[in-house]
Structure formats: C-alpha cells, structure tokens
Copies of this chain bind each other. A is one copy, B any other.
Amino acid sequence: MAVRVGVIGTGWIGSEHIRRITDRVGGAEVVAATDIDADRAARAVAGTGARVLAGSEEVVAADDVDAVVVTSWGPAHAESVVAAVEAGKPVFCEKPLATTAEDAQRVLDAEARHGSRLVQVGFMRRFDPGYAQMKDVIAGGGVGTPLMAHCVHRNPTVPESYHSEMAAQDTAVHEIDVMRWLLDDEISSVQVLTPRRTSHRFEHLRDPQFMLFEMAGGARVDLEVFVNCQYGYEIGCEVVGEEGTVRLPEIPGAVVRSAGRRSTPVLQDWVQRFAAAFDTEFQTWADEVAAGTPTTGPNAWDGYAAAVVTDAAVRALHSGGVVETGIKARPAFYA
C-alpha cells in the first residue's frame, strides 16, 4: 500500500530525501533512483532495496513508480517535472521548480493539459510549526489585514562558490514563497538595497543585501539577507497587521546563567533549523499522494511565482532600482 517513489538526482539533498522517505516517513518507500553518476545513485539507495535506473525517463516510466521526487541539478528540474506530469504521476520537486520563468511556464502548461495538479515544490518552511502557527493567526484574523512584514535570513558563512545573485535565488527564495503564502498575495515589485559590505566575505560577494517587496495588495515586505553574519543561522519574521503583529518564535535553547550573563545557544545551520519541517513536508505529501487527493503544499504556480520574483530580484540587484515582477493574478486552476 506504501507509495512507491522514484528519485531523480541523488546528490546531497536527494540522498537526504531518500533517507528521510526510508527512515522517517510512513507509507512511502523508495523503489528506484537515478543520477548522472550511477555510483552515487547506488550509494544513495544502498540498503533501501531500491534499484538504480539509467535515467529520468526510466524512473518516470517505471510501472512500480507511483510518484516521483526530483532532486537533480536545478536547470534540469522542469524537464523531469513535465515528464512526470505527462505520465500522470504526482511529483515532488525540490526548489527551484525551474531556473527560468519560461521553464516554469512549461510546467504550468503541462499541468493545464493534464487537467489537474500533480506538482509540489519543496518549500519546506510552510511545514515549520512556527510559520504554520503564524499562518493560522493571520488567516484567522488575529492581527487584522497585513500591512507589512519584516524578515531576516542569516547564515554564519557561505562558501566561495556562493555569488551575489544567489542571495535571491537560493536564500531569499524561501521568504519569497513563505511571504506569498502568509500574506496570501502575489509580489508585484522588488528592490534590492546594498548596505555597507561585511569584511567577512569573499571579494566578489555583495553581502548583506536588503530586499524590499511590494505585494499586489499594497503590503510591504522587507528582508535582510546576510549570509556571513558569523554568529549563527537565524530566521526572523514579523507580520504587522492592522490590529496586531505575529512573530516567528525564536528557537529555544537551554538558558544558562553564569558570569553575569543569561544566554542560550544559537543554531548554526538550516538542516537543524528545518529538520522537522522537512519530515512533516514529506509525510504530508506521502499521505496525500496515498489518499489520491491533490497535494496541499506549494504547487507549480508557487514554483512559477518564485521563479518570476527571484528573477526580478536578480535584475533589481543589478539595476539598483525598483523592478516590476509582472506576475499575473493566480489562475483559478491553482486557487
């Protein structure tokens, strides 16, 4: 009865998800996997009973694959997702859904042709208990109509391969999705300000960046992206509504009093921070796939919107000015 999953791409995150599905998700098992490096694929499925297939087409086509997980290289995501949709199989695609708006549009078109939604995109924050509580409060009217949101996204350090555009593409993309969801609105424009640079960075990188988003309904979201903040990994978010505000909880830690100070540890990476969110994300997906109901996580439209806004943010970084995203209202198909 378990959902039989085929995995396309077995790099770090693919291997993580294979372990997750195997070890921590009920009602799902990995039965097949592929990777451009077949040895890596073999190592990733060792001990799971899954077999290694030659390519993504084989995974999508396999009779015993009920659903597909796409965790390959970003630019290859859209093609695999479209193939899965055309095969009528539910597909979970790690973020990004696509690295260009055109590719994302292809996924929307494929789902439209298919006639129902099959795609979920891996924005795991929607499954974080703190964000979920915020969503409940906002959707329940607990703070009134949202007017503003203030966000921070900090990493202790990044490797040299991290470049300035990744502040939007890899980092801010999480807030782009989660703020669209929390505020239930599309992002209409983006601006990226560049504060004084930290000296703790590789020369080529603009860090920190301060991003300003305007929602279609007029709410404003600001976001500090600071990926070499040194002290730890931390995510902050406060939504300000007409009657109150709601804030993402700080991650707790044992409180030590000593030597004149009261202190708690700060997490050092996102894997710790969102481990529970990833588990809940996959469990929920597996349950919904098993039930045959449409998945309720972020869908192809969310992936498309993230691609469009991320693109605009990169252009805004380059231009220094306000960039319109040009995104349309959400189609009824994705309501």
Query: Complex Cα distance A262/B265, Å?
Result: 6
Is A26 part of the binding interface, using a Cβ–Cβ cutoff of 8 Å?
Answer: yes
Copies in the complex: 4
Please state if B218 and A196 are interface contacts (CB–CB under 8 Å). yes
Q: How far is the CB of A125 from chain B (nearest CB, A)?
A: 13
Please state if A230 and B252 are interface contacts (CB–CB under 8 Å). no
Identify A256's interface contact among B19, B47, B145, B244, CB under 8 A: B244
Please state if A134 and B242 are interface contacts (CB–CB under 8 Å). no
Identify A222's interface contact among B19, B210, B248, B279, CB under 8 A: B210
Identify A245's interface contact among B137, B144, B231, B268, CB under 8 A: B231
Residue in chain B with minimal CB distance to A230: B243
Please state if B244 and A249 are interface contacts (CB–CB under 8 Å). no
Please state if B134 and A254 are interface contacts (CB–CB under 8 Å). yes
Please state if A262 and B266 are interface contacts (CB–CB under 8 Å). yes
Query: Complex Cα distance A56/B24, Å?
Result: 28
Please state if A133 and B240 are interface contacts (CB–CB under 8 Å). no
Residue in chain B with minimal CB distance to A200: B242
Which residues of A from 224 to 276 have beta carbons under 8 Å from B?
224, 226, 229-232, 234, 240, 242-266, 268, 276
Which residues of A from 104 to 138 have beta carbons under 8 Å from B?
130, 133-134, 137
Query: Complex Cα distance A250/B255, Å?
Result: 9
**Given A25-B23, A147-B196: A257 and B231 within 8 A (CB)?**
yes
